[in-house]
Structure 1
Amino acid sequence: MTPRPVMVDIEARDVGALARFWAQALGRTAHDTDGTCHVAPARPDLADVTLSVVPAVPASGPPTRAKNRLHLDLAGASAAHRAELVGRLRDLGATPLDVGQGEVPWTVLADPEGNAFCVLEPRETYRETGLPAAVVIDCVEPHTMASFWGKALHWTVHEVTEAYASLRSPRDAGPYLEFLRTPDSDTGPDRLRLALLAGSGDPAAEIARLRTLGATGGDAGRGGPSGAVLADPEGHAFRVVTSGRSS
């Protein structure tokens, strides 16, 4: 089966500004489609993460600085590169963020709307991932999440322990999808969540397949004109994109 790309929706009160930040941060271009901005790899054949910046609901009130249950890890190729990267991100509008991490070798920053992300120290695991090294999700049972998402994306499970699980495209390229055991993880709304490309087949059949894997919900229309919203086995909402783009 063809592996699906990993895609992340980010809710924003200023869609254009946040998309510009992430496009500049990742060295990409943002493309607007009906109010959603897509920050995608330059080459669609690359096994890399695509970001879709979507309007926040409700679209009012000031942004807050917080650690969502999903965040991005960016990889520094060397100590010097990590320092340069942190400096460049600060210049683009990122700010330091304390999420209780204490003394750690990586740097936690917040994007202009307060969403936490990490700039990692050099790690051999991420040597060939590219700048987005991992999409990380807090959960209660990493093995359950790895099983569901591995089958949903047609990705390969790399490691599973009681506290951690990781997946990667069977192409063995691009970022990892990682699950960290966080016992107090709840099922409240998040500003970042996964989206899943269903391809050009029958949307109803894709939703039915995901339900057999353990997904719930599946109301067509809630994900916009080209998608539906479901929840994974731990209640994390995700969008099923039933067109060729994450729009």
Structure 2
Amino acid sequence: MALRPVMVNIKAVDGPAVGRFWAEALGWTAYAAGATTYVGPGGRLVWPDPVVLGVDVVPVPEAKTATKNRVHLDLATTSAAHQAELVARLRVLGATPADVGQGDVPWTVLADPEGNEFCVLEPREVYRDTGPIAAVVVDCADPRAMARFWGEATDWTVHRVDDDQAALRSAHGGGPYLEFLRTPDKKTVPDRVHLDLLPYPGDDKAAEVARLHTLGAADLDLGQGDVPWTCLTDPEGHEFCVLAPS
């Protein structure tokens, strides 16, 4: 048994507006289904996709605090000109420069219209076939421990593990990486960005949740009430959800 990462969940006060921002930023389409705005390629909701991680923008009443998100997106570029053009276009769409202590680096740190940080990377060969999202990046204390948990929790393949960084990617190839970066800061508040995971057809969601508990996941109560998905945290407290098979 294993779970598939299928969505990057972003919380926003104005979900439709943030959904439109990310759709234009990624060159995808925003699709509204009730209160939630889904962002993905192809002009319609295709979920789950075997490779692409969609973006799922969910409205919440609380605005983002000044605390930096511990999960963010890295966007891929193909040339220095592409990087500059993308940064300029994102600024027009409502992105703003963000200082997270990065110093003098070749990538550009921005925030979406509600302050969710993300990076526009300089061209890197490793991300040449990821699509617009190069990686979902998670701050953590122990990348090796995160690689063990997420490698067993999902069907993604571990590509790199050391004391400072771990990287996983879909076994199908293509699509973004899931990366864990060692950082000194500690998690203090619930994040506004997290992953949604989905069982494969025929797999039992309750059994998958029980398996995650044995790996070190913990139950999470955010006041979600009676919903078809299950909210959990990984061993370092990063939130994620296990969705019900459709």
TM-score, reference length from structure 2: 0.90
Pick one of 168, 189, 206 that aligns with 2:208: 206
Letter paired with 2:24: Q
Establish whether residue 222 from structure 1 lines up as the match of residue 224 from structure 2.
yes
Shift of 1:185: 2.4
Amino acid in structure 2 at the alignment position of 1:20: R
Give distance in 2, aligned partners of 1:224 and 1:73: 33
Q: What one-letter code is carried by the residue in structure 1 that aligns with 2:228?
A: S
Q: Note closer, same or farther for the CA distance 1:206–1:2 as it changes in structure 2 (3 Å cut).
A: closer
The amino acid of 2:170's aligned partner reads S
Q: 1:73 Cα shift?
A: 0.2
Within a 5 Å distance, the mapping from 1:233-244 to structure 2 comes to 233-244=235-246
Partner of 1:29: 29
Count of aligned pairs between the two proteins: 241
Cα distance, 1:63 vs. partner?
4.4
Change (3 A) 1:174 1:147: same
Aligned to 2:58: 54
Deviation at residue 64 of structure 1 after TM alignment: 4.5
Is the CA contact 2:108–2:121 (under 8 Å) kept in the aligned structure 1? Answer: yes
Cα 1:149–1:84 shift into 2, 3 Å: same
Residue 75 (structure 1) aligns with? 76
**Structure 2 letter corresponding to 1:90:** R
Aligned counterpart, 2:153 = 152
Which residue does the alignment assign to 1:232?
234
* Correspondence for 1:192: 193
Does the 8 Å CA contact 1:221/1:227 hold for their aligned counterparts? no
Gap change, CA 1:239 and 1:26, over 3 Å in 2: same
Contact kept in structure 2, 1:223 and 1:239, CA below 8 Å: no
Tell me the secondary structure at the aligned position of residue 4 of structure 1.
strand
Paired amino acid for 1:9: N
| Displacement of 1:7 | 2.0
Cα deviation digits, residues 164-200 of structure 1 (max 9, x gap): 0000111121100000011322252111111111244
> In the alignment, what sits opposite 2:86?
85
Supply the distance in 1 between the matched residues of 2:147 and 2:41 (Cα, whole angstroms).
25
SS of 1:47 mapped into structure 2: coil
What secondary structure sits across from 1:229 in the alignment? strand
Kept after mapping to 1: 8 A contact 2:140/2:182: yes
Q: Which position in structure 1 is the counterpart of 2:104?
A: 103
Name the CA distance, whole Å, in 2 between partners of 1:3 and 1:191.
22
- The alignment yields a C-alpha RMSD, in angstroms, of 2.1
Q: Distance in 2 between matches of 1:90 and 1:115?
A: 14
Give the deviation of 1:28 after TM superposition: 1.2
Shift of 1:4: 1.4
Could you tell me which residue of structure 2 aligns to residue 5 of structure 1?
5
Q: What residue ranges of structure 1 are gaps of 5+ in the alignment?
A: none
Q: For the residues of structure 2 that align with 1:126 and 1:194, how far apart are their CA atoms?
A: 20
- Counterpart AA for 1:186: K
